[in-house]
Amino acid sequence: MTRQMTGAKMVVQALKDQGVDTVFGYPGGAVLPIYDEIFQQNDIRHILVRHEQGAVHAAEGYARSTGKVGVALVTSGPGATNAVTGLTDALMDSVPIIVLSGQVPTFMIGSDAFQEADTVGITRPCTKHNWLVKDTANLSSVIHQAFHVAASGRPGPVLVDIPKDVQFASAEYTPKPKAPVGHYQPQVKGDMETITQLVEALENAERPVFYTGGGVINSGPAASQLLRELVDATGIPITSTLMGLGAYPASGKHWLGMLGMHGLYEANLAMHGCDLMINIGARFDDRITGRIDAFSPKSKKAHIDIDPSSINKVIKADMPIVGDVAHVLEDMLKVWKARGRKVNREALAKWWRQIAEWKQVDCLKYKNSETTIKPQYALERLEALTKGMDRYICTEVGQHQMWAAQFLGFEDPNRWMTSGGLGTMGYGTPSSIGVQVAHPDSLVVNVAGEASWLMNMQEMGTAVQYRLPVKQFILNNERLGMVRQWQQLLHGERYSSSWSEALPDFVKLAEAFGAKGILCKDPKDLDDAIMEMLNYDGPVIFDCLVEKHENCFPMIPSGEPHNKMLLGDVKATNAIAGKGAVLV
Amino acid sequence: MSALQIKKGSSKHSAYNLRPTFSDVQESHTITVLVENEPGVLARVIGLFSGRGYNIDSLTVAEVDHEGHLSRITIVTTGTPQVIEQIKAQLGRIVSVRDVHDLTAEGSSVERELALMKVVGSGEKRVEALRLADIFRANVVDSTLESFIFQLTGAPDKIDAFADLMRPLGLVQVARTGVAALARGQS
């Protein structure tokens, strides 16, 4: 049976066929036909955001918390350019999303028409792939292909640009199974020879460590399960990047905590001192490695990644394995079991004793105060009062983000939404909205700094409109905290433009939006205030006034290796100097 | 997506994989990329090179399979072995790329370029230019009483050599196609 329909109807039909239930978007002239189709159906829910950047981050939050593909719909020109930050963010963090953008009609392309922009040109470097559809006959198969590209291999953002005349014209609809997926078929099975070699190295290693990343989470729940089985069966310590938190539970016996620039002392020293590093779905980002030429000097390195370009990009891999994490872990476990489940128990016990010594340093310790709320304390209390709840955490970018990673524990994958690679201030609020839409009955908290939070605060309107009870937990130090910290470390405490001046009254702001506002500035009131936030059935802006000049430690200063960490008791002023000063 | 196997260096034909991956030596490689011929595909490839700071010494592109809509892009690039490996992996990641081959690494290949050179002069110089053109097997494709246009095919260094010789003899304009290349043998 052939089905003739308009391009606009095709868009909605293709989304339905792909199992999409929610679209985040903002209408405009070039997407009106699609909005008209959305109006006339009830299967797909449209969430009206307040800014297109918010739509894309919300789609990211939706995607990362569900493992499904997130969808955003924007108009041509400014709608598409506003989506660029979100697309880049999703590309850096490998989040599968689809942005559908309207375009001026085909016969006007190139004429500098009203709200025309070269959308595929602008978004080419910030998408995994993009399409300009010039013929309605191709539209539905391109959308199906777009879902395939976004979700397979290393996931990422894609964009489909649809001119308005293509939306109006009619053609035959290509259903999902008949649509050619193209030649894009990334390799998922790892090379068995190298996997066996890795298992052999694992059996003999004296100081092994698992270093896992967002790839484990992207690979799906099975990957996290297999990782837990492998770690617990071998007894090998495990650390993770910011993106990989939750793949192995924070309460797990073998958990070292996060590694990297603001990672834990024991995790970084384990990386520095190990003799076998097993990188699973991480990419040796500069926040992780510190100084490259002094990075983990004594180890053999295995690198499991679905993206061949990640391997040997930064750090040379002795055992490179291109494949999907879940597939490779399954094979690894199979081989390890078949070979008799061996590990070097004696050496491992010694390695764990060494790690226990490093843990004694207690690198997260901080001086608490009875009069001022320390940001670390606020997060400790948030953790204590929400532990065991069905909880999702989003963050903005900066000091609060690192403290959240250090002080909150993640027991499961897909529970932690943060902008890692791009470091997008303003990510958290819209992301929390996307998460809450996907999980209406769960607790969704956006741990924020006041400066980041202001960047996309317009999305509170979205939260209120759709009755999304997102909790905006703002650690308000009236500073651009991380910028200020770096100015202290690097620029002689000359705090150039790192004050948040003329801040709004957040309680009144909440009320103006129709949400609830809570102010807390006394550590003694903190628990009650957090409980009030948790018990309120609706969106809350929680203004937590915290210590203004607290620094985030431990820290690997830029240009230094893992074993040169700064701990909390260091004299911070001008602690970064020399070659490291040019790094970010 | 190309079947880029990183496992044991990039070639079974050469000792290429024996050199250190992270050495500082700059190497010149000819990479051939088969792409789906769709709008913007060249921009994707060129954007990759400019965006990631890789060099393009020469680039040619044309559709080679009209029915399958496939184009072959031949790129000559320079970089350290690690950069060359990255270039290949990054190219393989582009969704419209079907296949990536490093002809320099994968054994012997044939590389050819076509050049047109306009030489203006008279008397002794003009005779000498024609004599050298004969040695290089360049054809005269246009002539006036004061000028020649030579057409020359060959490997890039042969064309460089011919251009060097023509310069003192009145070379005024050069147009080169860039390198087209194929691996020798059956595969």
Do both A355 and A391 map to the same domain? Answer: no
The pLDDT, as a whole number, for residue A580 is: 74
Using CA atoms of A380, A382, A388, A393 in order, give the dihedral in degrees to the nearest 10. -110
* Average of per-residue pLDDT across B150-176: 97
Look over chain A and give the mean of its residue pLDDT values, rounded to a whole number. 96
Are A166 and A281 contained in the same domain? no
Q: Which of A37, A52, A116, A396 is catalytic?
A: A52
CB-nearest to B98 from A183, A187, A194 is: A183
So what's the pLDDT on residue B12?
Answer: 40
Q: Is the pLDDT of residue A110 over 60?
A: yes
**Which among A128, A191, A312 has CB closest to B95?**
A128
Q: Quick check: A308 and B93 CB within 8 A?
A: yes
| Residue that wins the pLDDT comparison between A293 and A469 | A469
Q: Are residues A168 and A196 in the same domain?
A: no
**What mean pLDDT comes out for the span A289-306?**
94
* CA neighbor of A289 nearest in space, from A263, A266, A319, A308: A263
Residue A318 touches partner B, C-beta closer than 8 Å: no
CA distances from B120 to A149, B149, B166, B168, B173 (A): 55, 9, 10, 10, 9
Tokens of B41: 């595909």
Interface of chain B against chain A, CB under 8 Å? Answer: 1, 3-7, 21-22, 36, 39-40, 43-44, 47, 51, 82, 85-86, 89-90, 92-96, 98
* Same domain, yes or no: A11 and A148: yes
Query: Residue A388's domain spans which residues?
Result: 375-545
The pair of structure tokens assigned to A194 is: 């190298």
Give the pLDDT band of residue A584 (cuts 50, 70, 90). confident
Domains of chain B and CATH, by start = 16-102 (3.30.70.260), 109-183 (3.30.70.1150)
pLDDT at A69 over 80: yes
Specify whether A169 is located in the same domain as A197.
no
Residue that finishes a domain, picked among A514, A530, A545: A545
User: For A465-502, what is each residue's pLDDT tens digit?
Assistant: 999 999 999 999 999 999 999 999 999 999 999 999 89
CB-neighbour burial class of residue A416 (10 A; exposed 0-12, middle 13-18, buried 19+): buried
Q: What is the pTM of this model?
A: 0.93
Same domain, A428 and A325: no
Q: Which of A138, A154, A178 is the last residue of a domain?
A: A178
Question: What is the crossing angle of helices A136-151 and A7-17, to 10°?
Answer: 30
Which of these is catalytic: A319, A425, A455, A482?
A482
Per-residue pLDDT of A246-288, as tens digits, reads 999 999 999 999 999 999 999 999 999 999 999 999 999 999 9
Residues of A (154-183) whose Cβ lies below 8 Å from B: 182-183
Please give the pLDDT value at position B16: 43
Q: Is A538 exposed, middle or buried (0-12, 13-18, 19+ CB in 10 A)?
A: middle
B13: confidence class by pLDDT, cuts 50, 70, 90: very low
pLDDT of residue A75: 98
d(CA B114, CA A553): 61
Query: Closest Cα of chain B to A153: distance in Å?
Result: 10
The answer to whether residues A293 and A250 belong to one domain is yes
- Looking at the complex, report in whole angstroms how far the Cα of residue A294 sits from the nearest Cα belonging to chain B: 15
Q: Per residue in B109-130, pLDDT tens?
A: 999 999 999 999 999 999 999 9
Tell me the average pLDDT across A199-220.
98
Would you state the pLDDT for residue A326? 98
Number of domains in chain A: 3
Residue B40: which of A124, A184, A322 has the nearest Cβ? A124
Question: Domain check: are A214 and A170 in the same one?
Answer: no
pLDDT of A1: 55
Q: Does A145 share its domain with A244?
A: no
How far apart CA A522 and CA A372 sit, in angstroms, is: 6
Average pLDDT over residues A84-113: 98
- Hey, are the CB atoms on A308 and B86 less than 8 Å from each other? no
The string of pLDDT tens digits covering residues A143-199 is 999 999 999 999 999 999 999 999 999 999 999 877 666 788 889 999 999 999 999
Size of interface A-B (CB pairs under 8 A): 61
- Interface residue A311 vs chain B (CB under 8 A): yes
The single residue of A9, A164, A301, A516 carrying the catalytic annotation is A164
The reply to whether A71 and A150 lie within a common domain is yes
Which one of the listed residues A4, A114, A342, A365 is annotated catalytic? Answer: A114
- ipTM, 2 dp: 0.90
Q: Tell me: the pLDDT tens digits for B69-87?
A: 999 999 999 999 999 999 9
With an 8 Å Cβ cutoff, are A124 and B3 in contact? no
Domain boundary among A140, A156, A178: A178
pLDDT at residue B2 tops 50:
no
- Looking at residue B103, its amino acid is L
Q: Distance between CA B163 and CA A309 in Å, rounded? A: 39
% residues pLDDT > 70 (chain B): 88
- Helical (H) or strand (E) element with A304: strand A300-305
Provide the CA B94 distance to its chain's centre, in angstroms: 21
Identify the CATH number of the domain in which residue A449 sits. 3.40.50.970
**What is the C-alpha to C-alpha distance for residues B65 and B63, in angstroms, rounded to an integer?**
6
pLDDT computed for residue B20 by the predictor: 55
Mean pLDDT of B153-180: 96
The span from the CA of A188 to the CA of A191, in Å, is 10
Mean pLDDT of chain B: 89
**A79 and A16 within one domain:** yes
- The whole-angstrom separation of Cα A362 and Cα A271 is 17
B-chain residues within 8 Å CB-CB of A312? 6, 21, 82, 85-86
User: pLDDT, tens digit, for every residue of A519-548?
Assistant: 999 999 999 999 999 999 999 999 999 999
Residues A166 and A64 both lie in one domain: yes
Q: Are B107 and B13 in contact (CB under 8 A)?
A: yes
